[in-house]
Amino acid sequence: MLDELLHRVRGHRPRLLETECDFPEAAVLVPITRSDEPEVILTLRASGLSTHGGEVAFPGGRRDPEDRDLIHTALREAEEEIGLPPGLVEVIGPLSSVVSRHGIHVTPYVGLVPDYVDYEANDGEIASVFSVPLAFFRDDPRDVTHRIDYLGQSWYVPSYQYGEYKIWGLTAIMLVELVNLLYDTEIALHQPPAHFIALH
């Protein structure tokens, strides 16, 4: 499974986001454990934060002027937020970039991490660190679908409930791309699912 993940992410051609706006840049790390049943590492952001407070997210944040590139941003933020040493991460490659509702251009980078890391959440930013088996998303066990109209397109974004955690929004978009890439699941983001009910 890990060999397949490496092969597919390295051969992936992410969608380049072309916009007329010059958005501030940010990057997130999508950490995948080196294990027979790979898991993805996620965070629950502290509820008091000004943006995305109380939401599930990948570790990451805005690019600093000193950052060499966006990979450096993702690794630096992961170390600051969850205590993940950059030397433990093997960055494989990017997924498609997205723009958050706060007008931030976010690029995700998939990276392999050991499955024994003792994460330390930065209390000021992160309420908890948890993992979810990638296979959980393979069958698309969504609770609801959110329709988001953006850049002239409608996005039908799944919301997943995993234990006490609700995984939705940009994080779900990134996970769908990764799961489609790895498992050939063909979860559609631009067509409504069969059970979608439009509320007018």
Residue 147 CA, distance from chain mean position: 18
Query: Minimal CA–CA distance to 109: which of 12, 1, 3, 2?
Result: 12
pLDDT in tens, 18-68: 665 688 999 999 999 999 999 999 999 988 765 556 899 999 999 999 999
User: Under a CB-based contact definition with an 8 Å cutoff, are residues 182 and 134 in contact?
Assistant: yes
Amino acid letter at 67?
A: D
**CB-based contacts of 48: which residues, under 8 Å, 6+ apart?**
none
Whether the model pTM is above 0.85:
yes
CA distance 119 to 180: 28
pLDDT in tens, 93-127: 999 999 888 889 999 999 999 999 999 999 889 99
